Amino acid sequence: ALAGVAQTWAKSDLKGAIAWAKSLPPENDRDEIIRTALIGKASVEPGPALDLVGMVPPGGRDNYFATTTGARVLSAAARTDYDATVAWLAAHPGRLGREDLMGLAQTFTERLNADPISFLATHSADGSLSVLLPAMDSALLNSASGQRQPVWEWLKTQPESDRVNGLRREVLQSGSWQDPELAMRMVKDIPKTAQGDEQVRNLARNLLNNGSRVNNLDKYLEQAPE
């Protein structure tokens, strides 16, 4: 009930809601009430809520998806104003960790599935693509797994850069776990550079899961390009 009050109050007066939550008796979970206030604010205005994510511990439940403070606030923020949320992330690199960025997963996946090429082009142009790589990894492993091939085709048209190499790594990694045959067909498109060679080595590690799937080696060698 207290969290519900804080969530509603914060939409119009975040500072007041937080001050009230801090004044509550210690037997109440004040951190959780403040988290809920931040989620309430994110549901109407992402920036101010995201600015204050670090004021409470990250929280999160072991083996549960997107339950950290950052993930919960980010999820509400992305549903409210995706573009403003991504702009905040690009302007504050490193403020939220990989687990926090899983809060983008649902909204990110919906947009990627709707038009992958336009989606990638937009985030490449505004410089946010590298910030969003953890969310891309989650999307490609889950409800956007069917977009690996379009994403890969887009990557083939891009000049070499750190963000292109990072995205290429995410596509190969998710493919090696879920669609090894596709991942190995992609190998022929990897540049013959030091970075490209390292990506091939990483693909091999992932295909064999560091040795736990070594029984598949003969099959992979039969399928692999030269």
Q: What is the pLDDT of residues 104-117, one digit of tens each?
A: 999 999 999 999 99
Q: What is the pLDDT of residues 136-182, one digit of tens each?
A: 989 999 999 999 999 999 999 999 888 888 899 899 989 988 898 88
**H-helix segments, 43-101:** 46-51, 69-80, 82-91, 98-101
Q: Residue 142 and residue 136: Cα distance in Å, rounded?
A: 10
pTM of the complete model: 0.84
- The neighbouring-strand residues paired with 68 are 59
Positions of the chain with pLDDT lower than 70, given as ranges: none
How far is the first Cα of the chain from the last one, in angstroms, to the nearest whole number?
63
pLDDT at position 161, please? 87
CA 119 to chain centre: 14
pLDDT at position 113, please? 96
Q: Residue 111 and residue 86: Cα distance in Å, rounded?
A: 13
Q: What is the DSSP letter of 210?
A: G
CA nearest neighbour of 124 among 167, 68, 93, 75: 167
Residue 120 burial (10 A CB sphere; 0-12, 13-18, 19+): buried
pLDDT at position 112, please? 95
What are the two backbone dihedrals, phi and then psi, of residue 109, each rounded to the nearest 5 degrees?
-65, -40
One-letter amino acid at 125 equals A
